[in-house]
Amino acid sequence: MSASQIIFYLISALILSSGLLAVTARKIFRSAIWLLFSLLGIAALYFWMEVEFVAAVQIIVYVGGIVVLIIFSIFLTQQSGSELPKAIRSRALFSGLAAAFGFAWTFMLIDQHPFNNPAGTAFSPGVAAIGNQMLSISDHGYVLPFEVISVLLLAAMIGCIVIAMKVKPQEA
């Protein structure tokens, strides 16, 4: 086993274990922290694949934006220390069966496709090429998805503000 494979398996173990802890944690703040570690692991996987620009975007948008907004929302609702209710047994059973079915289906699809490398072509996107593609308004440009992501961040911020607002009781 090479060092590259060991690094891949360590990063994968970090992503899977922190993702599992994010959905099984009883305290909502701990769940958000485990989500943060899972997203950092995904950024590490991008760095391992030498796609530094995508890794930086992963850290800036998701770790630095979405997770921070989630944590602020948790603190502003004053529910950060409370425990989440225990899962209903039938829901846990259904979730386990759905996860097992999803894994089986994924492995079946992976087994059907050989994923051959076409003629030894290397994947080497440059930051300049990615930037030109993102700002292009041609058929294969990404201006619209780029703007949709900014609307997503704006909606997350507005949602955080709405959750944080306290409703004053009305006097009769």
H-state helical runs in the chain: 3-24, 28-48, 52-57, 67-76, 89-112, 127-134, 143-164
Residue 84 CA to residue 26 CA, distance in Å, equals 5
Residues composing the chain: 172
- pTM comes to 0.64
Residue 66: per-residue pLDDT? 82
Q: Which CATH class is domain 3-103+126-164?
A: mainly alpha
Q: Which residues contact 137 (CB under 8 A, 6 or more apart)?
A: 143
Per-residue pLDDT of the chain (172 residues; tens, 9 = 90+): 899 899 999 999 999 999 999 988 888 888 889 999 999 999 999 999 888 888 888 898 888 888 888 887 777 776 666 676 676 777 778 888 898 999 899 889 888 887 776 666 666 667 777 777 777 777 767 777 778 878 877 887 787 677 666 666 666 5
- Specify the pLDDT at position 14: 95
Q: What is the dihedral of CA 98, 100, 105, 110, to 10 degrees?
A: 140
Give every CB contact of residue 55 below 8 A, 6+ residues apart in sequence.
43, 44, 46, 47
